[in-house]
Amino acid sequence: MSAIISRNWPAPAKLNLFLHVNGRRNDGYHELQTLFQFIDCCDMLDFCVTDIDELVLHSNMSAVVADNDNLILRAAKSLQQATSFKGGAEIWLDKRLPMGGGLGGGSSDAATTLVALNKLWNTQLSTEKLAEIGLKLGADIPVFIHGFAAFAEGVGERLHAVNPSELWYVIITPDAHVSTADVFKDPLLPRDTPKLAIDTLMSQPWVNDCQKLVVSKYPQVAKALGWLLEYAPSRMTGTGACVFGEFTQQQQALAALAKLPSDMQGFVAKGMNRSPLMVRLSHP
């Protein structure tokens, strides 16, 4: 096999433009209704196919996440097992997205690994089969594999393609790591938002049912959201800690970011209804 490195596979971040918690299931998972949209900020991965049955990850995050807990290696191993592929891969991760921020970086890294290695290993699994493998690793992974902005139901695996406005966003990254598991275990999390039809949800004001709880426990999130609300309609994404404000023009977003207090960090991103991973997949 070739030792050529296949470079620049993007793993884009996502925003939950709204997030409703409809109830808790018997298996402990929650029924959700949410709207995913990608943004043009990404982790980047490079891959080299190898002849030996070994998976090696080089990452600037190895000191933070143990390799055996890393979703990238778990995704690659899952694809190996599902296809009985005899070779392996060397993988390089350039981690650019904040961890624990609700932007889906870990899930996106795993999805990009599945999509890229499915092509590079020539294992030829369908998108649907890759999404099945991904769902076993994390509820958000299928939306990154399918690669389109989506209204999601269930635990986030039932997807319907949608085309929300591709706005500009100011995203603030508070210095807080919010545990998704802890948010969904918390007895104060509201779990009774009625399920609504997609047309109704797309036309009404958007909210995040996790936001009130997280804001009450993390003053850094409350401070960031309070500041951002002075400039634009703003919400938390996922279970936090990142918050985002919506702007119709890039210049408006950049002007707001320029006023960001020195004790906060943030960036400007463009909403995308087609994942940059899909663009990369169409190239050699």
Query: Is residue 101 part of an annotated ligand binding site?
Result: yes
> Is 151:160 a contact under the CB 8 Å cutoff?
yes
Instruction: Say whether 14 is catalytic.
Output: yes
Query: Is 229 labeled as ligand-binding?
Result: no
Q: Is 102 annotated as a binding residue?
A: yes
Half-sphere exposure of 115 (CA within 13 A, CB side): 29
CA atoms within 13 A on the CB side of 171: 28
Chain centre distance of CA 205: 22
The question of whether 140 is a catalytic residue gets the answer yes
SS3 track for the chain: CCCCEEEEEEEEEEEEEEEEEEEECCCCCEEEEEEEEEEEEEEEEEEEEECCCCEEEEECCCCCCCHHHCHHHHHHHHHHHHHCCCCEEEEEEECCCCCCCCCCHHHHHHHHHHHHHHHHCCCCCCHHHHHHHHHHHCCCHHHHHHCECEEEEECCCEEEECCCCCCEEEEECCCCCCCHHHHHHCCCCCCCCCCCCHHHHHHCCCCECCHHHHHHHCHHHHHHHHHHCCCCCEEECCCCCCEEEEECCHHHHHHHHCCCCCCCCEEEEEEECECHHHHHHCCC
The answer to whether 106 is a known ligand-binding residue is: yes
Ligand-binding annotation for 164, yes or no, is no
Query: Known binder of ligand: residue 6?
Result: no
Residue of 14, 43, 109, 209 with catalytic role = 14
Annotated ligand binding at 147? The verdict is no
Task: List the catalytic residue out of 43, 95, 109, 140.
Answer: 140
108 annotated as a binding-site residue: yes
Q: Is the torsion defined by CA of 120, 13, 156, 166 positive or negative?
A: negative
Asked whether residue 245 is marked as a ligand-binding residue, the answer is no
Catalytic residues: 14, 140
Which residues are known binding-site members? 98-108
Binding residues for ATP: 98-108
